[in-house]
Amino acid sequence: MAQILVGDSEPVERTGHALKDVFLQDVYGIPGGEKIKECIQCGTCSASCPTSYAMDYPPREIIAAFRAGLLEKVLMSNTIWLCSSCYSCTVRCPSGIKLTDIMYELKRLAIEFGLTPKKAKAPVLAELFVDIVNKNGRIAEVPLVSKFMLKTNPLGAFKMIPRATRLFIRGRMPLSSHKIEGIAEFEKCAGAMTETMVSSLHAGSVKQETS
Amino acid sequence: MNRAYDKSTQLVCKALDIDLAELNDWNCCGASAYMSIHEMKAHLLSARNLALAEKEKKDLVVVCPACLTTLTKTNRYLAEEPRLKKSIGASLKAANLQYFGSVKVRHLLEVIVNDVGEEEVKARIKTKLSNLKVAPYYGCQLTRPFGVIDDKEFPSILDRLLAWIGVEPVNFPLKAKCCGGLLMMTNEDVALGLTRNILDCAKQNGAECIITICPLCHMNIETYQGDVNKMFGTDFKIPTLYFTQLMGLAFGFSRKELGIDEEMVPSRPLFEKRLEVVG
C-alpha cells in the first residue's frame, strides 16, 4: 500500500514524482479535467449533491483539498465512494467542471494506489463487477451480489435470504449467466490499446489499464 | 431481475411496430462500476457495442439510463478527444472492428414519443385506466449530464406519454432526483433515505403508483420499499411499474404477459377496478 501524504513527508510514486503531482496531472488528463483549475469554491456542487450530508468532506471541500495536495483528506474520506453519479453537480457547476468524471478518476486512482478507507464497500463491489464482466462480457447479478455480501457482510447475507427467496419465487432470480462469444476478442482489444489518458508522471500507464 | 422489463418492452414494441432487434453478442456497458476501476477499458466496452451497432446500420436503443449515459459519453468523447479516438481505434482493430462515429444512442421512451408519436400510441389503446394518478419517476441519468432527451432537471417527456395512454401524471418535484442507485448495495442507509424522499413526495402529491424507466431505480423503489418502511417506520404501499408495463396494460396485454405478477408491492388491488376495456 502506497504511503500517503502526512504532514511534512512527501510520498513518492514509482517514477520519483510526488504522489500529489501524479494525481493532479492524471485528473487534468481526463476529458475536461483541466477545468478543475477554475473552481471558484461557490459550493453549488455541495448544495446539489444528494449524499453530501453523509460525506466526511462534501464535493466543494474535496476539490479544495485536492488542489491543495491534501491527498489523505481526499482519499481516506468516505466522500468519493458516496458519489452516486447523479450528475447534479456537473450540470450545475458554473465553471463547467465535470465533477462526476473527476470523482470517477479519484476512484480509479484510489484503487490503483490502494488508498481506500478500510470500511468502504463500493470499491469491493466495483472490483467484483469488473471481474465478472471481464470473464463473461456481461454482468451476472446473483454471483455479483452473493460474492459481494460474503466479502463485505457475511452476517448480513443471512438477512438477505428472505428477500432472495421472495424474488426467487416470483421468478426474478436469474440463475444462469451468459458468456459472450467475443470475450476473448475483447481481451485482445484491451491488449492492443496504444495509450491511456493518464499523465506521463504515472508509472502505471498502459500496463495498468490492460490488466 | 429485469425479465418483466424485457417482456413488456418486447410486447409494447411489437404492438407499436417498432422493429427491435437484439444487438448480436452485445456486451455489458460497464455502467458506473467499471468506470470506477478502468477508464479506457470502460470506453472500450461502449466502443465495441457502438461498432457492432454501426455494422447493423441501426440506432442503438436502450431501456436503461446507465447504458444510455455510458454509451453516449463514449460516443461523444470519441468525437471530442483525439487521444481516446486513436487508442480505441487501435484497440478495435485487433478484433477487426472499426467505429466511424455514426451511431445514435437512444432510450426507448424517447423513440416512442418522438418516432412513433401520439396518434399511433393512442390508436393502440384497448384498455382505459380511469383516473389513475401516477408519479413519473425519471431518475438521474436519463437527462443528465447531456440533456439530449429532455430538460436536465425538470423533464416532461414521460408525463406526456402517460397522458397519451390515459392516466394522470401528478406534479412530482422529486421526479429527477437520485434514488441512490448502486449505493443501495454499498451504503444502504443513505440510499434508503433518498428512496424514502421519493416515495414520500409521490405519496404527498397523490400518486397511486410510480412509473420508472430505469431497472436500478425500479429495484430501489419497488424491491426495497419494505426496507424503507422498516427503517423509517413508514407505511408505503405504492405499486411501481416500468413504463412499458403500464403501456402494455393500456394496450390490452395481461398482467402475466407483462410480468406484473412478479412484483413485490401488489398492484392488483389498484388496477382491479380501474381497467375498462374500450378498444
Q: Into how many domains does chain B fold?
A: 2
Residues in B touching A129 (Cβ below 8 Å) = 31, 33-34
H or E, element range at B277: strand B275-277
Q: Residue B147 falls within a domain, yes or no? A: yes
Same domain flag for A108 and A150:
no
Residues of A numbered 124-163 whose beta carbons fall under 8 angstroms of chain B's beta carbons: which are they? 124-127, 129-130, 133, 137-139, 141, 145, 148, 163
Same domain flag for B137 and B59:
no
Same domain flag for B55 and B130:
no
Q: Residue A147 falls within a domain, yes or no? A: yes
Same domain flag for B175 and B99:
no
A137 to B153: CB separation less than 8 angstroms, yes or no: no
Contacts (Cβ under 8 Å, ≥6 apart) of B28: A133, A137, A138, A139, B34, B45
Same domain flag for B185 and B262:
yes
pLDDT digits (tens, 9 = 90+) for B128-184: 988 899 999 999 999 999 999 999 999 999 999 999 999 999 999 999 999 999 999
Give the C-alpha distances (Å, rounded to integers) separating B194 from A126, B181, B183, B199. Answer: 21, 9, 10, 9
A123 to B86: CB separation less than 8 angstroms, yes or no: no
Task: Flag residues of chain B having pLDDT under 50.
Answer: none
Same domain flag for A62 and A159:
no
A125 to B86: CB separation less than 8 angstroms, yes or no: no
Same domain flag for A111 and A200:
yes
Rounded to the nearest angstrom, the minimum Cα separation between B4 and chain A is: 9
Q: What is the CATH number of the domain that holds B247?
A: 3.40.50.11810
pLDDT digits (tens, 9 = 90+) for A106-138: 999 899 888 899 889 999 999 999 999 999 999
Look at residue A39 in the predicted model and tell me its pLDDT: 97
Q: Which band of pLDDT confidence, cut at 50, 70 and 90, is reported for residue A200?
A: low
Mean pLDDT for the stretch of residues A72-87: 93
Same domain flag for B49 and B177:
no
Is the pLDDT confidence value at A194 over 80? Answer: no
- Phi, psi for B137 (deg, rounded to 5): -100, 115
Nearest by CB: B94 against A31, A148, A189: A189
Q: Residue A13 falls within a domain, yes or no? A: no
B94 to A192: CB separation less than 8 angstroms, yes or no: yes
Contacts (Cβ under 8 Å, ≥6 apart) of B51: B92, B97, B98, B99
Give the structural domain span for A149.
Answer: 122-191
Same domain flag for B189 and B86:
no
How far is B113 from A116, CA to CA, in rounded Å?
Answer: 44
Look at residue A10 in the predicted model and tell me its pLDDT: 52
Q: Residue A36 falls within a domain, yes or no? A: yes
A54 to B187: CB separation less than 8 angstroms, yes or no: yes
Q: Residue B46 falls within a domain, yes or no? A: yes
Give the structural domain span for B52.
Answer: 17-106
B38 to A91: CB separation less than 8 angstroms, yes or no: no
Q: Classify residue B115 by its DSSP letter.
A: I
With CA atoms as reference, the chain A residue closest to B153 would be A88
Cis bond upstream, residue A123 (ω within 30): no
Same domain flag for A75 and A153:
no
How far is A113 from B165, CA to CA, in rounded Å?
Answer: 53
Mean pLDDT for the stretch of residues A15-30: 82
Rounded to the nearest angstrom, the minimum Cα separation between B104 and chain A is: 21
Q: Write down which residue in B48, B78, B106 finishes a domain.
A: B106
Same domain flag for B102 and B128:
no
How far is B217 from B230, CA to CA, in rounded Å?
Answer: 19
Beta carbons within 10 angstroms of residue A154's beta carbon: 9
pLDDT digits (tens, 9 = 90+) for A166-182: 888 887 887 778 899 99
Look at residue A98 in the predicted model and tell me its pLDDT: 97
Contact A177, A140 (CB under 8 A): yes
Q: Which band of pLDDT confidence, cut at 50, 70 and 90, is reported for residue A207?
A: very low
Q: Residue B9 falls within a domain, yes or no? A: no
Q: Residue A4 falls within a domain, yes or no? A: no
Task: State the ipTM, two decimals.
Answer: 0.95
Same domain flag for B165 and B32:
no
Q: Which residue has the higher pLDDT, A42 or A175?
A: A42
Give the C-alpha distances (Å, rounded to integers) separating B23 from A75, B51, B52, B72, B79. Answer: 39, 11, 7, 16, 23
Same domain flag for B136 and B170:
yes
Rounded to the nearest angstrom, the minimum Cα separation between B86 and chain A is: 8
SS3 B168: strand
Q: Residue A7 falls within a domain, yes or no? A: no
Cell 404527498 -> residue: B204
Same domain flag for A155 and A168:
yes
Look at residue A103 in the predicted model and tell me its pLDDT: 96
Q: What is the CATH number of the domain that holds A95?
A: 1.10.1060.10
Same domain flag for A108 and A142:
no
Q: What is the CATH number of the domain that holds B67?
A: 1.20.1050.140
Q: Residue B170 falls within a domain, yes or no? A: yes
Q: Into how many domains does chain A fold?
A: 2
B33 to A126: CB separation less than 8 angstroms, yes or no: yes
pTM: 0.93
Is the pLDDT confidence value at A7 over 70? Answer: no
How many Cα atoms sit within 13 Å of B15 on the Cβ side?
A: 24
Nearest by CB: B44 against A124, A163, A189: A189
